[in-house]
Amino acid sequence: MFRTETTLRTYDKLYLDGAWVSPTVAAPPTEVYSAADGSVIATVPAGSPADIDNAVAAGRTAFATWSVTTPAERAALITAIADALEARADELAEMTALEVGMPRKLARRVQIGGPVMVLRSFAEMLGTYEFSREVNNSLVVREAAGVVAAITPWNYPLNQVIAKVGPALAAGCTVVLKPSDEAPSPVFAFAECCNSAGLPAGVFNLVSGGDEVGKALAAHTGVDVVSFTGSTAAGAHVAQAAGKNINRVALELGGKSANVILDDADLEKAVTSGVNNAMLNSGQTCAAWTRMLVPAQLHDEAVAIAEKAIAKLTLGHPLEDGTRLGPLASADQQARVRSYIDIGIAEGATLVAGGSDVPADLPAGGYYVRPTVFADVKPSMRIAREEIFGPVLSILPYSDEEEAVAIANDTDYGLHGAVWSGDSDRAMKVARRLRTGQVDVNGGAWNPLAPFGGYKKSGLGREYGEAALEEYLETKSIQR
């Protein structure tokens, strides 16, 4: 029995200067739709550039005192926010499941548990990070950069907020956040947790709204750092707007990551892991391994394993316990992904599983797309070169290791990737040759302290760990 939402979450105020306030300009609220059935499940206020002005002013005022707090004081408040989020984990997981589409059980672990762990890591880091050190006759000091403009996407709403706000607060910066309107509820809940944790007024500010709000924030003269996650095309516009103010810019953008399976790998494990990675969050993951590179002589065997793995990913309502793969986040996403599946078929790739037809046995109005696998994919095909951002995997055969590396690197992107081999030294050598920001070797586990970010058009700067903290610090040398 599919669950139908009957309670409408209504957010009618922005969070500015430590208080919930009405938008400056009266405007109809923005409706938020359920990924599962297309119904309206929440509304959020439509802010304006005037609200951005007020938020930045609050951030600048608060920066004077927040930037000189001790690391221990900041760590205590960051920990309190993490505690407040953890206390609401089940509620946050359900919000995320309905707005993004990830199955609730998985969302509880990935979309909520992971970000809370990341937030705690920044609190812990403040106990060991050296904000000053002696270099010959100089004292080299790392200081808070100022007011941070954070613009975040819908696919991992809480995670992408924490990946920016966590290190910014730890550094002593203040923040103005503009979240996506497609999955905003977890972000408004985050603001509530900041408030309940006692974060000082003006240190964190939240302004929801459309593109004009994001543009006003990215171009604001009162901002010192702009951090954006989203598409490469949008990232270019953000960088251009921020560049006029000579502001530092951090961009976490698109990906078309290669999963390189070498001829001596455990094929069953490598292919199955690759399928599951590509389908995480219904493929709505910038770092997903969407290109699976396999030796030509093992291509058909790999395809059979992939087909078996896909069959286990039960597509369904995100609140149903048996669901392994949920819907996409919006009607636009659904239409985009279905069009790419049709493109793959037209290009001559072999459709192994899935397809562009909408499943008839799922809730009407939901944004469902069947998990899809293409085989015999050529590197020149659009499905092998363009970011689809949906549950679509391309399997590409290669002749030898040199060609595998060449295909993996023949992309505009460089965000993530994987290498599988029975020889760990060989796998490491190939991993070093990949032009990408992260590589998992033989299923290496996610490390929240390791820098995450991209080469080429996948972005600038890094998130997570000390590298993220330093995105929000300035360096001063004092000679004596």
Task: Give pLDDT, residue 7.
Answer: 81
Task: Give pLDDT, residue 472.
Answer: 98
Buried b (16+ CB within 10 A) or exposed e, 70-106: ebeebbebbbbbbebbbebbeebbbbbbbbbbbbbbb
- Binned at pLDDT 50, 70 and 90, residue 221 comes out as very high
Residue range 189-197: average pLDDT? 98
Q: Encoding tokens for residue 415?
A: 């965000």
Indicate which residue of 94, 252, 387, 471 is catalytic.
252
Q: How far apart are CA 223 and CA 332, in angstroms?
A: 32
115, 86 Cβ separation under 8 angstroms: no
Q: DSSP E strands: which ranges in 384-469?
A: 392-398, 417-420, 440-441, 459-460
Residue range 107-131: average pLDDT? 98
Query: What residues pair up with 206 in beta bridges, in sequence order?
Result: 15, 177
pLDDT at 194 > cutoff 50: yes
Predicted confidence (pLDDT) per residue in 383-412, tens digit:
999 999 999 999 999 999 999 999 999 999
Q: Which residue has the tokens 């996407």?
A: 153
The answer to whether 474 is a known catalytic residue is no
Lowest model confidence (mean pLDDT) among 21-25, 302-306, 329-333, 356-360: 356-360
Predicted confidence (pLDDT) per residue in 2-48, tens digit:
444 458 999 999 999 999 999 999 999 999 999 999 999 999 999 99
Task: Give pLDDT, residue 6.
Answer: 54
pLDDT at 203 > cutoff 80: yes
The answer to whether 466 is a known catalytic residue is no
Q: What percent of the chain has pLDDT over 90?
A: 98
Considering the entire predicted model, what is its pTM? 0.96
Kind and range of the H or E run holding 291:
strand 291-295
Task: Give pLDDT, residue 4.
Answer: 47
Task: Give pLDDT, residue 2.
Answer: 43
Predicted confidence (pLDDT) per residue in 69-82, tens digit:
999 999 999 999 99
231, 110 Cβ separation under 8 angstroms: no
Predicted confidence (pLDDT) per residue in 415-443, tens digit:
999 999 999 999 999 999 999 999 999 99
Name the residue with higher pLDDT: 192 or 6.
Answer: 192
> How close are the terminal C-alpha atoms of the chain, in Å?
73
Query: What residues pair up with 164 in beta bridges, in sequence order?
Result: none
| DSSP 8-state symbol, 165 | H
Residue range 242-255: average pLDDT? 96
User: What domains are defined for the chain?
Assistant: 9-253+458-479 (3.40.605.10), 258-447 (3.40.309.10)
- What would you measure as the largest C-alpha separation in the chain, in angstroms? 74
Q: Encoding tokens for residue 182?
A: 């497609």
Going by C-alpha positions, the residue among 356, 312, 330 that lies closest to residue 36 is 330
Residue range 99-103: average pLDDT? 98
Q: How far apart are CA 158 and CA 96, in angstroms?
A: 9
Q: Encoding tokens for residue 363?
A: 């809730």
Q: How far apart are CA 165 and CA 173, in angstroms?
A: 9
Beta strand pairing call for 225-229 and 204-206: unpaired
Q: What percent of the chain has pLDDT over 70?
A: 99
Predicted confidence (pLDDT) per residue in 254-275, tens digit:
999 999 999 999 999 999 999 9
131, 141 Cβ separation under 8 angstroms: yes
Indicate which residue of 99, 286, 463, 470 is catalytic.
286
- Binned at pLDDT 50, 70 and 90, residue 148 comes out as very high
**What mean pLDDT, rounded, does the chain reach?**
97
Burial class, 424, CB count within 10 angstroms (exposed 0-12 / middle 13-18 / buried 19+): exposed
Q: Encoding tokens for residue 400?
A: 């030898």
147, 63 Cβ separation under 8 angstroms: yes
